[in-house]
Amino acid sequence: MKFLRTVFFFVLALTAVNAFAQSSAELKRRRDKLNEELQQLNDEYEATAKNKKTTLKQLNILKAQISLREDKINTLNSEVRLLGNQINENTNNVHSLQSQLDQLKKEYAAMIVFAYHNQSAYNKLMFVFASQDFNQAYKRLTYLQQFGTYRQRQAESIQGTQKELKVKINELDRTKDQQSTLLKDQEKEKQTLGQEKNSQLAVISDLSKHQGELKQQLKDAQQQKAKIESQIRVAIRREVEEARRKAEAEARAAAARAAAERARLAAANPGSPAPKEPAPAAAKASTNSELLNATPEFAKLSNDFLGNKGRLPWPVANGVITQEFGLTYIEGIKTDNPGIDIRTNSGAGVRAIFSGEVTSVNNISGTYLVVVRHGEYFTAYANLKSVSVSKGDKIGIKQNLGTVATDGATGETQVHFELYKGQNAVNPKLWLATQ
């Protein structure tokens, strides 16, 4: 039982160590990725700052920087907490090993005292020869041999414990150094975040002096998004109507088959009364969801898509959200975004976030829009410079759809992404995996 308990605690400790290593590695990978994205944004901002005229691009970059900076600070917080837990665990291990070492030394000292008092061969021989019989003499001789062996093992155990204690103390010191470095990095990030927020206020203040131009920029952007949303809704409505047409055609075919069967029975039994025609069922208006999930294939696709909510890949391999879903205000000017805007690298590929069927490819003011159906769900990818799919294509998850366009006037490279359940737009960010 004692052995099983020891094995259990060993496995538990090993699992905890592995979990810490995995969590620590994942957080470090996340921090490194954030650093890379922040550096790209910083380079882009410096390039735009050389232009004396303040633009929305500068504001969008600052907003993205602030969002990433806050994400990095949260990541650092998680790393600090993780290291704090590791420090507490290592501290407890050091105390436990120190207690074991003290106890081993105490027991070893007692053995040394005993051995000192019985160190002469004469005393050992007298201890053996004073036995009452041969069996007792044998046991006493064996005891003396085992005592010597145990004494040697105790000395080895003390040395092993001392080495393990030294390793744990060094590990504890390294963890404390890592935590100290992360705390300094965290403080530096907070200062940088404050500077970026001040820069954001300055840019907003400068933009407010040119509200006419700002309103025009926002108006142009909203008009483009309105065109995109209109085309998306047309594509979805077309799919719904096609599904309704197929359902009605199937109902008519079923009614015709039933009428033919009644006629056949009447002809086969001329003397019998004709089978009564069933009373027409009350018309039932199918919902969009029922129509779009009418076939087992689309029903399964919808279910699989829903089952991956929060884990779907991003439409670009690397990107930062520059404008969130829904209503936002810039210096009192309201904008309504039916999707999200994702800044990415020039020439970046756009990919499908799930398997499905391309329902439409449209050219809108010189850039392309691709709409993909996933059962009753639809995803839309706008502001593409080129496309590599056609209407009706069956596509797989992460399949390339085209490349993102770069705005010649602002130099911004971003994809506009929307997600619909039926004809209702939903926040895409809630469905995408955390990068």
Contact 399, 351 (CB under 8 A): yes
Nearest to 162 by CA among 203, 102, 208, 202: 102
Q: Give the CATH superfamily of 212-240+308-430.
A: Glucose Permease (Domain IIA) (2.70.70.10)
What is the full DSSP assignment across 228-297? HHHHHHHHHHHHHHHHHHHHHHHHHHHHHHHHHHHHHHHHH-TTSPPPPPPPPPPP----HHHHHT-SHH
State yes or no: pLDDT of 4 exceeds 50. Answer: no
The helix or strand, by DSSP H or E, that contains position 420, with its residue range, turns out to be strand 414-421
b/e 403-415 (16+ beta carbons within 10 angstroms → b): bbbbeeebebbbb
Q: What is the pLDDT of residue 14?
A: 46
pLDDT (tens digit per residue) in 15-29: 444 444 447 788 777
Q: What is the pLDDT of residue 122?
A: 41
The helix or strand, by DSSP H or E, that contains position 381, with its residue range, turns out to be strand 377-387
Residue with the larger pLDDT of the pair 197 and 307: 307
Q: What residues pair up with 419 in beta bridges, in sequence order? A: 379, 426
Mean pLDDT, the chain, rounded, equals: 76
Average pLDDT over residues 89-105: 72
Instruction: Give, in degrees to the nearest 5, the angle at Cα 78 between 73 and 83.
Output: 120
Q: What is the pLDDT of residue 10?
A: 44
Range among 170-184, 300-314, 403-417 with highest mean pLDDT value: 300-314
Same topology between domain 11-209 and domain 212-240+308-430: no
Question: Percentage of the chain surpassing pLDDT 90?
Answer: 22
Q: What is the pLDDT of residue 184?
A: 82
Residue with the larger pLDDT of the pair 418 and 260: 418
Question: What number does CATH give the domain 11-209?
Answer: 1.10.287
421 pLDDT band, cuts 50/70/90, is very high
Average pLDDT over residues 34-40: 74
State yes or no: pLDDT of 178 exceeds 50. Answer: yes
State yes or no: pLDDT of 218 exceeds 80. Answer: no
pLDDT (tens digit per residue) in 41-75: 777 667 666 555 556 667 777 777 788 788 888 88
Contact 76, 31 (CB under 8 A): yes
Q: 412: which residues sit within 8 A by CB, 6+ positions away?
A: 57, 60, 343, 406
Q: What is the pLDDT of residue 271?
A: 64
The helix or strand, by DSSP H or E, that contains position 358, with its residue range, turns out to be strand 356-364
Q: What is the pLDDT of residue 149?
A: 64
Q: What is the pLDDT of residue 175?
A: 73
State yes or no: pLDDT of 412 exceeds 70. Answer: yes
Q: 359: which residues sit within 8 A by CB, 6+ positions away?
A: 235, 236, 238, 239, 371, 372, 373, 378, 391
Average pLDDT over residues 348-376: 94
Residue with the larger pLDDT of the pair 366 and 76: 366
User: Tokens 């108006």 — which residue?
Assistant: 219
Average pLDDT over residues 387-392: 95
Q: Map out the domains of the chain as residue ranges.
A: 11-209, 212-240+308-430
Residue with the larger pLDDT of the pair 432 and 242: 432
How far is CA 123 from each of CA 56, 116, 118, 133, 150, rounded to the nearest angstrom? 97, 11, 6, 18, 20
State yes or no: pLDDT of 331 exceeds 80. Answer: no
Contact 69, 189 (CB under 8 A): yes
